[in-house]
Chains A and B, each alone.
Chain A
C-alpha cells in the first residue's frame, strides 16, 4: 500500500516539475540537441514496451492468448481511423468473446 502512495506523490511532483521546468526555470534556454531528441523518442519506446509486455507477458513468461486478439483488433481499428474509445472498448469485447468461446 505504501508503494502505491509513494508512486502517486512522486509522479504528481515529477509531472508538475517536468511541465514547469521550461516556462519557469529554463527561461527560453534550449537543452542540447541530443538530449531533446532522446526526450522526444522516450514515449514511443516505452509505450511500445508496455504494449508488448501487457499483451504477451504472463509473469516472467510470454504467451499469446485472448488479449492478443483484442489488442490486434484495437490496432486494426486505429489504423482504420476509429476513435480511441471504439478501439479500447472493442479490444475488451473481442478479448471477452474469445475467452467465452475457448
Chain B
C-alpha cells in the first residue's frame, strides 16, 4: 500500500486521523439527532443536569437509552445498571479484538481503547483481525461533541416542547432500539437471540417488575449461543 513511497513529510498517523474524521462526520450528524432525542426523553426522568453528565461520561447510546427506559418505567438503579452493562458487554469482545493492534504504554493503549464506539471500531477494522487505531480515533472525534451537544440541545428544547406524547416522542425510544437492532442482529444466531429476547420480555411484562423482563431476555443469548453459527 503506502510502504512503497519514500517517507512522507506528513505524519502518517495524522493522515489516518484526518481520514477517520472525514469518515466520522456523517455519523456525527446522526449521533447529534439521536442525542437530542435522548436529552428530550431523559429530562423528565433525570432532570436537566444528569442527562448531560451521563452523555459526557458514559457516551453510549444503547446503555443510556436502555437504562433510561428502565428508570422511566419505574425500575430501580440495579436493574438499570444491569441492563446497561449487558447492552455494553459487546465492548469486552470488541476490546479483545482490538488489543493486538494497540502498541505502546498502558496509558496510550487505554486512551485508544476508550475512544471505541461501534461505528469507529467497525470502520477501523482492516481484516485479518487487525485495526487502524488512529483511524478509529478519527471516526470517533466528530461523534463525541455531537453526542454531548445534542444532549444539551435536547434537554433545553425538551422543556419548551410541551407534551412529549402529543409529539410522538415516546416512539423515539423503541424506534431507536429498532435502528440499533437492524445494525446488530445479522446472522442466524443473532436473529434467534433477538426473537427469543423479544418473546421472553413480552411474556414476562405482565408478571415481573419494570426492568426484569429486559434482563431476563439475556437468557435468549445463552440459548442462541448453543446453536450452530
A: residues with CB less than 8 A from B are 1-8, 10-12, 14-16, 18-24, 26-28, 30-31, 34, 36-57, 59-62, 66-67, 70-71, 73-75, 78-79, 83-85, 87-100
Q: Which of A6, A14, A41, A93 contacts B221 (CB 8 A)?
A: A41
Which listed segment binds A: B1-9, B17-25, B61-69, B152-160?
B61-69
A51, B174: Cβ atoms under 8 Å?
A: yes
Query: Is the beta-carbon distance between A93 and B217 smaller than 8 angstroms?
Result: no
Identify the B interface with A (CB < 8 A): 29-30, 33-34, 37, 45-47, 50, 53-54, 57-60, 62-67, 69, 71, 73, 76-77, 80-81, 83-100, 102, 106, 109-110, 112-114, 116, 165-182, 184-185, 189-191, 193-198, 200-202, 205-207, 213-214, 216-222, 224-225, 229
A22→B99 contact, CB < 8 A: yes
Give the secondary structure class of B's interface: helix
Contact A43 B202, beta carbon cutoff 8 Å: no
- Asked whether, in the complex, the Cβ of A95 is within 8 Å of the Cβ of B171, the reply is yes
Are the C-beta atoms of A47 and B177 separated by less than 8 Å? yes
> How far is B65's CA from A52's CA once the two chains are assembled, in angstroms?
14
Residue of A at shortest CB range from B229? A37
| CB nearest neighbor in B for A98 | B168
A96 partner residues in chain B, CB cutoff 8 A: 166-168
